[in-house]
């Protein structure tokens, strides 16, 4: 158990705030290598596995997709699509290369336990926190990251081929890499429009 020597114990962390106030996603389309080293990836996953989680259920798990597995999963995408629709050569090429856009991808799987006092909604929220924490940790390590679902997160055959069980859903594919282009800011909500006081 962490004691009060933990750096987050009543101590300001201005660098973290700088990152949170300036962070944005880097598009998977403009990513390149190198990806995180094994140690860096472990740091990202450890940070993600510390998110708040009502009931200590760990209602998520991670599937790491790196190296040749990216092309293998691309082949799976094409196979799955072909079972349900006609796939043009052009589309097949795009799908085969989908996971080659970044050097590392983490599939965050939300695994909800039913019929327990912790609401399913809260378990799903925790999976969302995992994805966001991965973005932050990857950014803090000098990478860009992109939280995407795209069609493949929702295709039952893809979920099956990724080994998802009943009650498991894909919260996102977190793409991690280096950016080939500067990140442009995008509009952020005006706080006056979203904050009220009770
Ligand atoms: C659950 C979830 C799924 C998303 N899926 C997609 C997606 O499939 N395609 C896409 O272009 N953006 C998707 N996004 C949006 C991007 O991850 C990201 O929010 C957007 O590019 C702006 O990011 P930023 O505010 O971190 O800069 C998704 C976001 C969330 C929260």
Quick one: pLDDT at residue 9? 81
Return the pLDDT at 8: 74
DSSP 8-state assignment for residue 113:
P
Q: Distance between CA 173 and CA 153 in Å, rounded? A: 8
**Over pLDDT 70: what percentage of the chain?**
96
- pTM of the predicted model, to two decimals? 0.96
Per-residue model confidence as pLDDT tens digits over 122-151: 999 999 999 999 999 999 999 999 999 999
Q: What phi and psi values does residue 150 have, to the nearest 5 degrees?
A: 55, 180
Test site for ligand 1: of 20, 124, 147, most ligand atoms within 8 A of the Cβ: 147
Angle at 19 between CA 17 and CA 23, to 5 degrees: 130
CATH of 26-69+102-180, one of 3.40.109.10, 3.30.70.890, 3.40.50.880, 1.10.3720.10: 3.40.109.10
Q: Which residues of the chain have pLDDT under 50?
A: none
Q: What is the pLDDT of residue 3?
A: 58
DSSP 51: S
Dist CA 21 CA 7 (whole Å): 20
Q: Which atom of ligand 1 is nearest to the CA of 183?
A: 27
Whose CA is closest to 145, among 135, 133, 160?
135
Q: Which of 26, 60, 101, 149 to mutate to test the pocket of ligand 1 (most atoms within 8 A of CB)?
A: 149
- 138's tokens: 């990857």
* CA 154 to centroid of ligand 1, rounded, Å: 15
CA-nearest residue for atom 6, ligand 1, is 148
Where do the domains of the chain lie?
Answer: 26-69+102-180
Model pLDDT, residue 81? 97
**pLDDT tens per residue, range 72-95:** 999 999 999 999 999 999 999 999
Closest to 175 measured CA to CA, from 149, 152, 143, 147: 147
| Ligand 1 pocket at CB < 6 A | 24-25, 146-150, 172, 186
CB atoms closer than 10 angstroms to residue 106: 26
């Amino acid at each position: 158990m962490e004691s009060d020597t933990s750096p987050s114990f009543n101590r300001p962390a201005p660098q973290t705030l700088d990152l949170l106030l300036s962070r944005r996603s880097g598009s998977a389309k403009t990513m390149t290598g190198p990806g995180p080293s094994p140690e860096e990836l472990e740091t990202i996953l450890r940070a993600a596995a510390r998110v708040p989680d009502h009931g200590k259920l760990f209602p998520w798990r991670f599937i790491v997709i790196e190296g040749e597995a990216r092309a293998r999963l691309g082949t799976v995408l094409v196979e799955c699509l072909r079972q349900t629709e006609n796939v043009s050569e052009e589309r097949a090429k795009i799908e085969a290369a989908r996971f080659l856009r970044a050097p590392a991808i983490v599939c965050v799987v939300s695994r909800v336990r039913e019929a327990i006092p912790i609401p399913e909604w809260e378990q799903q929220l925790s999976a969302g926190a995992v994805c966001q924490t991965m973005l932050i940790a990857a950014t803090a390590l000098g990478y860009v990251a992109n939280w995407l679902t795209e069609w493949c997160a929702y295709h039952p055959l893809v979920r099956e081929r990724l080994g998802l069980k009943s009650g498991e859903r894909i919260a996102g594919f977190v793409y991690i890499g280096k950016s080939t282009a500067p990140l442009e800011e995008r509009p952020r909500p005006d706080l006056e429009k979203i904050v009220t006081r009770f």
